[in-house]
Amino acid sequence: MANRELRSQVIAIYKQLLYLGRSYPLGYDYFRPRLHKAFMANAHLTDEDQIRHGIKRAEFVQKEIEALYYLKRYRTLRKRYDGA
């Protein structure tokens, strides 16, 4: 039962990261293959603790990408209002 829950968590974080990758500064074509490669490198994991650790690492990456996106957005707005 726990494996099903972990599997659904992994799929959910993968989808969230794919969605965030659309606004990645280097582009979606750069982001998607690297994300896929990172997840496939851990596809062999069967230990629940290792899978949970991988999920936490993916959540950290998600927060970093969100911060990068908001920083880029903030800089754009700042240029717009400071430059005028």
80 token code pair: 């717009």
Taking each helix axis as running N to C, give the angle between helix 2-21 and helix 28-41, from 0 to 180 degrees, rounded to the nearest 10. Answer: 160
Backbone phi and psi for residue 24, each to the nearest 5 degrees, phi listed first: -65, 135
Confirm if 48 and 2 have CB atoms less than 8 A apart. yes
pLDDT value at 1 more than 60: no
**How confident is the model over 39-82, as pLDDT tens digits?**
999 999 999 999 999 999 999 999 998 888 777 666 666 666 77
pTM recorded for the entire structure:
0.78
pLDDT of residue 68: 80
**How confident is the model over 7-43, as pLDDT tens digits?**
999 999 999 999 998 888 788 999 999 999 999 999 9
